Amino acid sequence: MINLKINHIPVTVPEGTTILEAARIANVEIPTLCYLKDVACVGSCRMCLVEATGARGLVAACVYPVAEGMEVLTNTAKCRKSRKLTLELMLSKHKKKCLSCERNNNCELQRLSVEYGAEEDHFGSDEPIHPLDDSNPCVVRDNDKCINCMRCVAACRKQHVGAIGPIDRGFLVHVGSAGEVALKESSCVGCGQCIVACPVGALTVKSNIGEVQAALENPEKKVVFFTAPSVRATLGEAFGLPVGTNVEGKMVAAIRRLGNCEVFNMDVTADLTIMEEAAELVNRIQTGGVLPMFTSCCPGWVRFIEQTHPDMIPHLSTCKSPQEMFGALLKTYYCEKNGIDPKNLFVVSVIPCTAKKYECKRPEMGGEVDVAITTRELARMIKTAGIKFCDLADEEFDNPFATCSGGGTIFGATGGVMEAALRVAAKTLDGKFEVVDFPEVRGATPIKEATYKVAGKTIRVAVASGLENAEEVIRGIQSGERHYDFVEIMACPGGCVNGGGQPSLPDSVRNNVNLKEERAKALYTSDKHNKIRLSSESPVMDAVYGEYFGSPNSHRAHQVLHTHYKADPRV
C-alpha cells in the first residue's frame, strides 16, 4: 500500500495505482478527455496534467503511478493555465457548430471550455478540411469536430474490429479507415461503441427521426412501435433519472403522445426467439447437428462473424433477431388477423443498438422493419414534442403484444439470452426440470462458462460480450481448446444495456458508475417479479403458435422467423 497526499488530503492506495485513480478515492475530480475507464488510457490529451513531487514538470494523472510520500496538487495556477491552453488548441481545429450539434449541452469539450474560460478563437479557426462521411447506415463521422482524443480508435480496437485508426502525423493527423475508404466500405460492424466513447459530436448515430415523424403524420399509414427490453432501463437517464431506473410505463405513455400509434413490447419476440432457438438447439443436440450453436440475435456479432470467420457461419442459429421476428410477425400474422395491407403498416423499432439500423436494411430480412431508432433518438423525439417525461403516469403496452415472460425481459443483459434459452431447452428435454435461475451465466464478466446436466445429457455453454472476447471464444473453439454446445455472444460489452444507441452520459458518470451492472439490475428485477418466467409459458406464445405457426421450427415458422447468413464479400 502507498501513502500520499492529494491536495493535502491523505490517501492510501495499492501500489500501481495512478494519480487519477487515487484522486477519485480522495473525492477529487481531475478533468480528462482521452481517458475512458476500461477503454482508453494513453495520456494523449494532456487535460489531466497535475503537479507531483518527484516529477519534472506536469505529469498526466491518468498514466502516472503514485509513490510513497508523494504530494499531488491538481488545481494550481500552472495546472489551470496548461488545461486552458490545451482546450484552446483543440478549439482551433474544432468545428464549433454547437447550437446544431447533437451533443450540445452534453459535450465534454464544451463543459471543460466553460469551466476553464477557454477562448474558442484564441488561436484562430481553421476552415473545414474533412468531408462529412454519412455513407454508413449506422454511424455518421464528422472529422471537423474531432479533437483527436482517439477514444473511438481505442473502442474499435478493443472490439477487435479496427475499422478506424489515426492517419497522417502531427497537425494533419485525423481518424479514418485504411486507405481513406468511406466508413461504409470499412470493416465496421455498426456496434456504435465508437459513438458512446466520443466526448464530442464527431461521431453520431444516423438519425431516422424524420421518417418516423413523416409516417406519424401520414393518414394512410398505420404506425406501430415496439421497444427492446433494455430501453426501459436506460431511457430515463436522458431525462435526469438515476442509472438503472425502470421507466417502462412512462416510456409507453410518451410514445403514445408522439402521434397516433400502437406501442408493443419487443420482449414478446424475445420470447418467440427463445421458442425457435431452444427448439433448434434441442434438434441439433438430438440429431447430431452443427455444434456449438451460436446465438444470432445481435447483428453486430453476426456481421463480425460474416466478415472475419465465414467458416463458422454454419454454427449460427438460423433464427432472426427479436427485432426482425417482430417485423415479420407484424407484416404477416398481425396484418392478416386485422385485415391490414402490410404496405400500409409502418413498423418502428426502438432499440439500444446502432447495428439494428443496418440489420433492418439487409435484403435477407425482407424490409419488414421500416425504421429502427435508438434510445437517444426516442429521447430527442420526446423532448422535441414537449412531453414532460418524468411527470407522465405509467401506461401499459397495447395488446395483443403486451404480455411477456421474464426470460424475454433479460435479453437486454449479457447472459440473458442464454438463461432464457436454458429455461426452455431444459424443460423441453426434461419435463420435470424446474430450475429457472441460472446465476452462472449472469453478470458482466467478459466470458462465462457453465455445464448443466439435463435429462442425462451434459450441456456445455458459454457467454461472451464484447467482440474482443468473442474472438477469444472462437479461437478456442477452432483450436479444440474450448468445447461447448451453445454459445451466446453480444457485440457490446455487457450486452444491449451498453449498446451504441444508449444515452450519452458524461465521463464523470461513465468512469465512476458501473453502467452495465446498474442497468442490468432493472431487467433482472423485472424478471424476478414476473409471474411468467419461461418463454414457453407466455399466453402470447400460445396464441401465435396456436393460431398461426403451429409449433416451433415448423415449416411456416421457418418461412417467417428464420433466415440465412453469408460471408461478407469484402473478406
Q: Which residues pair with 224 in a beta bridge?
A: 262, 347
Judge contact between 418 and 298, C-beta under 8 A.
no
Residues with active-site annotation: 277, 280, 297, 317, 356, 359, 364, 496
Q: What is the DSSP letter of 498?
A: G
Residue 465 φ then ψ, to 5° = -130, 140
* Helix, coil or strand: residue 274: helix
Judge contact between 48 and 74, C-beta under 8 A.
no
Which distant-in-sequence residues (6+ apart) come within 8 Å of 1 by Cβ? Answer: 12, 13, 14, 15
Amino acid, single-letter form, for residue 380: R
Please give the Cα distance from 103 to 281 (Å, whole number): 44
Judge contact between 547 and 333, C-beta under 8 A.
yes
Q: What is the DSSP letter of 68?
A: T
Nearest C-alpha neighbor of 204 from the set 162, 127, 144, 246:
144
Nearest C-alpha neighbor of 98 from the set 89, 106, 90:
106
Please give the Cα distance from 266 to 251 (Å, whole number): 13
| b/e sequence 380-395, b meaning 16+ C-beta within 10 Å | bbbeeeebebeebeeb
* Helix, coil or strand: residue 222: strand
Joined together, the cell numbers standing for residue 479 give: 483450436
Please give the Cα distance from 393 to 398 (Å, whole number): 16
Nearest C-alpha neighbor of 395 from the set 259, 235, 252:
252
